[in-house]
Structure 1
Amino acid sequence: MVKVPPFDATEQFRQIGDQINQAVAAVLASGQYVGGSNVKEFEQELAAYVGCTDAVACNSGTDALYLALRALGIGAGDEVIVPPFTFFASAEVVSLVGAKPVFVDIEADSFNIDVTKIEAAITDRTKAIMPVHLFGRPANMTAIMAIAKQHNLYVVEDCAQAIGATWNGQQVGSIGDVGCFSFYPTKNLGCCGDGGMLTTSNPDLAQQSRVVKEHGSPKRYYHSTIGINSRMDAVQAAILRVKLPYLDKWNHLRKEAIGRYDQYLKHIDGMITPKHCPGSVWNQYSIRFAHADRDAIQAQIRAQGVITITYYPVPLHLQDAYADLGHKSGDFPVSELVSQQVLSLPMFPEISDEQQQYVVNTLKDALA
């Protein structure tokens, strides 16, 4: 039996471990563990990569989203449009600033927000649209930006799974008012813990984010607003600086692996492979089962050593935390259908052809 994990960072560390160890050792020797030159230089390097003037390092992708909403002045009485098929943080931060998440269903083939349904959800309380570039596939930013401009709304891009992705040649995170990135270890650019970044070409938004993330303090011990503690530590910044130059190569390797999955899975009945988009960076390769019992298939292939993940088994509008919004089953039928069908196969840059063939053969046996 072959064991194939959903994600494996060990091969990546084997390749560049010496560089990471040297970078971490230098931070430890410096005695400067929070902030400092590594964080500042990583902010500059990431801003240049994304194509923005400013980048603000923080503790997580969740905090980046929170800081974005705070910087935009979104709060009590406001509404933010969010897809219901995404990680909980996308809506959670809306609630944390006192606003209301307003859900808009997704497209079944892209897993991203259905732009044709956005305008119907806009009210006089709507302040922003938060597209999520889910699984590394960019949302339709042309349509989203046009809607936002027409209705005078902000756009906050949730790029947690999509660093390096492009829409019409432009990097995600540079198209809307603010971009928000996660560097959780499973992301295309991952650190060895938690980390996040906010990107923008609006210097006022960048400065407001910096104030909020430092306890609302523009100057030490002087506090202009209620803030949070959301600093990136220097060790994580140093690791990410080592990894950033490899990101495009790793994203290319992901695309090559996707091509192999497509080839091996194309003749399997009852399985829907993900729609391609030229600018995708494939954080996940998520298939759908049109007729088979997804959970039973997942359990069966797990017993054969193939570990898959269900992103996401319960859409946000049906989570207990949002029961007060009064949603029920059937309100967002595409998200509900996809949540019962989708399964993310093992995906990382170094996944081998042999591993992928084993994954696919195990799937075929389970379906048979």
Structure 2
Amino acid sequence: MIPMVDLKQQYQSLKTEIEQGFADTFEKTSFILGPNVKGFEADAAEYLGVKHAISCASGTDALHLSLVAAGIGEGDEVITSAFTFIATAEAIRYVGAIPVYVDIRPDTYNLDPELIESAMTDKTRAILPVHLFGQPADMGAIMALADKHNLKVIEDCAQSFGADIDGKMTGGIGLAGAHSFFPSKNLGCYGDGGMITTNDDSIADTLLMLRNHGSKERYYHDVVGYNSRLDELQAVVLRAKLKHLPEYNRERRRVAHRYSAGLAGSVVTPPHEDEIGTHVYHQYTVLSEQRDAVMKKLADNDIASAIYYPVPLHQQKVFANICKDVRLPVTDQIASRCMSLPIYPELQNGQIDQIIDVIQSV
């Protein structure tokens, strides 16, 4: 069986370091906002080239707290993509704002900057681009629009940790960047975890309070906050993995490029890499008019595949009341044809070739 991701192989290579970190934590009994959380935040800020990295309980919380800190609230509109995981829009709704969906580019599956301006109203307060599947969105064009219209930009970096645009990491371009450490991510822990990055001192100060019950000093509360803290044990895992992330992302690109070369001329269209940033391939997502046949053939050969995302957000029941007249033809077309193949750093060339051969046989 070839799974979508194999976390066991990665764990085996880091087992000694992680388990020693766990043992040290148990010995010191410092479990909440302890030395590993602080150490990981410092390591992550340095790696990403940002002034502040504030960890929290999940990627969803990272989005939510970023919007709260940015002052986005009731009745505001936030322009974003409907071709993403629901957490992107959930966070917007948590603060009482309205997600305004704009169609995506047919090649990168990211927000199409050329459509953003026409979606703006006098209620538009922010743009929330998603660096989907590890491909950076066109942040140059998006930031230009934000500057022109005095809008805030919150980057959804849940799938792009380590991706960069001209050497500048995603999450360090907009006002803030929201990261997820769900286990299957490029940098994943062994449970839930998240982080917000920013170069804005005021935003950082607010986030430090928001994640910890609105408190700067214990038992003194300046604002209504949340209980959203990264677990110390998860920070142990993340510190161990962060040192290897450049290698992990290089290996993901190796896998992706071998796929793309081998799948040329097949019934699937490989993902597009453009000049906008370095794709880190959280997912390797192809398009096919014969998706069902390809997925069945893979399953018959004990090879996993998945669809991210079969139902775009503007078609979800939960958003029916705000999306009655929303038309996103490119998003709909991509959702009906997309499928993702196994990708992880430890995937061997022989396994990749096996998958390619199965697809080529369709």
Tell me the distance in 1 between the aligned counterparts of 2:337 and 2:350: 26
2:35 counterpart (34, 37, 43): 37
The aligned amino acid for 1:362 is V
The aligned amino acid for 1:279 is T
Report the equivalent of 2:261.
Answer: 263
Give the match's secondary structure for 1:218.
strand
Q: Which TM-score applies when normalising by structure 2? A: 0.97
Please report how far the alpha carbon of residue 284 of structure 1 lies from its aligned counterpart in structure 2 after TM superposition: 0.8
The aligned amino acid for 2:252 is R
List gaps (5 residues or longer) in structure 2: none
Tell me the distance in 2 between the aligned counterparts of 1:26 and 1:266: 50
Tell me the distance in 2 between the aligned counterparts of 1:223 and 1:303: 57
Report the equivalent of 2:298.
Answer: 301
Please report how far the alpha carbon of residue 6 of structure 1 lies from its aligned counterpart in structure 2 after TM superposition: 0.3
Tell me the distance in 1 between the aligned counterparts of 2:147 and 2:210: 27
Aligned residues of 2:134 and 2:159 also touching (Cα < 8 A): yes
Please report how far the alpha carbon of residue 46 of structure 1 lies from its aligned counterpart in structure 2 after TM superposition: 0.5
Please report how far the alpha carbon of residue 213 of structure 1 lies from its aligned counterpart in structure 2 after TM superposition: 1.2
The aligned amino acid for 2:301 is Q
Please report how far the alpha carbon of residue 220 of structure 1 lies from its aligned counterpart in structure 2 after TM superposition: 2.3
Report the equivalent of 2:196.
Answer: 198
Report the equivalent of 2:328.
Answer: 332
Please report how far the alpha carbon of residue 245 of structure 1 lies from its aligned counterpart in structure 2 after TM superposition: 0.9
Please report how far the alpha carbon of residue 296 of structure 1 lies from its aligned counterpart in structure 2 after TM superposition: 4.0
Counterpart mapping for 1:1-368 below 5 A: 3-268=1-266, 270-277=267-274, 278-289=277-288, 291-292=289-290, 294-327=291-324, 331-365=327-361, 367=362
Tell me the distance in 2 between the aligned counterparts of 1:152 and 1:295: 45
Q: Which TM-score applies when normalising by structure 1? A: 0.95
Please report how far the alpha carbon of residue 123 of structure 1 lies from its aligned counterpart in structure 2 after TM superposition: 1.1
Give the match's secondary structure for 2:100.
strand
Tell me the distance in 2 between the aligned counterparts of 1:97 and 1:221: 25
Q: Deviations over 1:67-122 (max 9, x none)?
A: 10000111001111110000000011000000000001101110100010000111
Aligned residues of 2:179 and 2:194 also touching (Cα < 8 A): yes
Give the match's secondary structure for 1:272.
coil
Q: Deviations over 1:104-153 (max 9, x none)?
A: 11011101000100001111111110110000000001000000000000
Please report how far the alpha carbon of residue 303 of structure 1 lies from its aligned counterpart in structure 2 after TM superposition: 2.6
Tell me the distance in 2 between the aligned counterparts of 1:154 and 1:79: 11
Tell me the distance in 1 between the aligned counterparts of 2:331 and 2:265: 26
Aligned residues of 2:315 and 2:323 also touching (Cα < 8 A): no
Tell me the distance in 2 between the aligned counterparts of 1:326 and 1:18: 50
Q: CA RMSD in A?
A: 1.2
Please report how far the alpha carbon of residue 340 of structure 1 lies from its aligned counterpart in structure 2 after TM superposition: 0.8
The aligned amino acid for 1:202 is D
The aligned amino acid for 2:324 is H
The aligned amino acid for 1:77 is G
List gaps (5 residues or longer) in structure 1: none
Give the match's secondary structure for 1:180.
strand
Please report how far the alpha carbon of residue 295 of structure 1 lies from its aligned counterpart in structure 2 after TM superposition: 3.1
Q: Deviations over 1:200-236 (max 9, x none)?
A: 0111101111111112223322333222110111101
Larger displacement relative to structure 2 (215-224 or 345-354): 215-224
Q: Deviations over 1:140-170 (max 9, x none)?
A: 0100000000000011010010011011221
Tell me the distance in 1 between the aligned counterparts of 2:323 and 2:128: 21
Give the match's secondary structure for 1:325.
coil
